[in-house]
Amino acid sequence: MKFAIIGSGAVGGYFGARLHEAGHTVYFLARGSHLEAIRKNGIQIKSIAGDYKALNVDSHETVQTIPSVDVVLVAVKAWQVSEIAPKLKSLAKGSTYFVPLQNGVEAHGILEEVLGKERVLGGLCGLISFIEKPGVIQHAGAEPYVTIGEYHGQSSSRTKALQEAFSPCIGAKANISDDIEKSVWEKFLLISAFSGVGAVTRVPIGIIRSIPETRKLLDDALKEVIQLANARGVKLDQISLKKTWDFFDNLPPQGTASMQRDIMDGKPSELESQTGTIVRYGKESNVPTPINTFIYNSLLPVEKIARGLLNIAG
């Protein structure tokens, strides 16, 4: 199977390297020093599931130079999807389809609007990983997975083919969801609360879950998202909450979310796509979100500084 990885960072680079390891043809879109390192030394994966170094990978700086593929995994940051979507039209040929792997609940709609509803699967992923240095990706926690699904709820030949393509991969698997909208919201439930509370407290999950006050803060943030999802027709419940807490309680204690790491490093983050979306959707649906609003308001100044929208000197 032929894959294009749009955004070869901690997420796309990891899954792309695992697909490469399994023998698939993989084209990587990257930029800057990361692209230079990939072209020189390949992509190195350091993983609790086993290390791998993908050598002689086919790397690209622009979408237009990527040949035709079967599947496009869109793995840029959530706030970059609207920017990259028009550039992906050059890959929208034949039966090629696109799978968004972003945190958040809006990437699918953005891609559909530009590329056409028939070309976009629902998708999400999970793992804790980061770029250790250009060309080197560290997988530090959680069993890596991709979940895919058709929004009409039925399994299809393309979801089955993609799941099969992942089957020989080491340290990566693909699941098919019969309710991909709920699956995306369950991931959003997990990552938005994890990211927001982690960023505002600036400590890893082991500390958050061990202190009663921060554990309750995280729980309250989760419950707001459940109420919001239900108000918008997505049925999250106590089972969703328990699954999320089971995940948190089994994470390595040093685990952090990517949005949290970006904010702590002074980089632009997915604040608007995660906590900001909760606040915005809450207003639209008339659902109070005081915990997430506090988190959003607390983090907004550093986000504006990171994006050059606010002068730190005032």
For residues 255 and 203, what is the distance between their CA atoms, to the nearest angstrom?
A: 9
pLDDT at 155: 80
pLDDT tens digit sequence for 73-98: 999 999 999 999 999 999 999 999 99
Domain boundaries, the chain: 2-178, 182-306
CATH 3.40.50.720 fits 182-306, yes or no: no
Q: What is the pLDDT of residue 144?
A: 96
> Is pLDDT of 27 > 90?
yes
Q: What is the mean pLDDT of residues 150-173?
A: 93
SS3 track for the chain: CEEEEECCCCCHHHHHHHHHHCCCEEEEECCHHHHHHHHHHCEEEEECCCCEEECCCEEECCHHHCCCCCEEEECCCHHHHHHHHHHHHHHCCCCCEEEECCCCCCHHHHHHHHHCHHHECEEEEEEEEEEEECCEEEEEEEEEEEEEECCCCCCCHHHHHHHHHHCCCCCCEEEECCCHHHHHHHHHHHHHHHHHHHHHHCCCHHHHHHCHHHHHHHHHHHHHHHHHHHHCCCCCCHHHHHHHHHHHHHCCCCCCCHHHHHHHCCCCCCCCCCHHHHHHHHHHHCCCCHHHHHHHHHHHHHHHHHCCCCCCCC
CATH topology of domain 2-178: Rossmann fold (3.40.50)
Name the phi and psi angles at 305, rounded to 5.
Answer: -65, -45
pTM above 0.85?
A: yes
Lowest mean pLDDT among 127-131, 216-220, 286-290: 127-131
pLDDT value at position 313?
67
179-216: per-residue pLDDT in tens? 999 999 999 999 999 999 999 999 999 999 999 999 99
Write down the pLDDT at residue 262. Answer: 96
What tokens does 197 get?
């509370």
Q: How many Å apart are CA 47 and CA 269, to the nearest integer?
A: 24
The maximal CA–CA distance of the chain, rounded, in angstroms, is 56
- Half-sphere exposure of 273 toward its Cβ, with a 13 Å CA cutoff? 22
pLDDT bucket at 310, cuts 50 / 70 / 90? confident
Q: Distance between CA 305 and CA 84 in Å, rounded?
A: 23
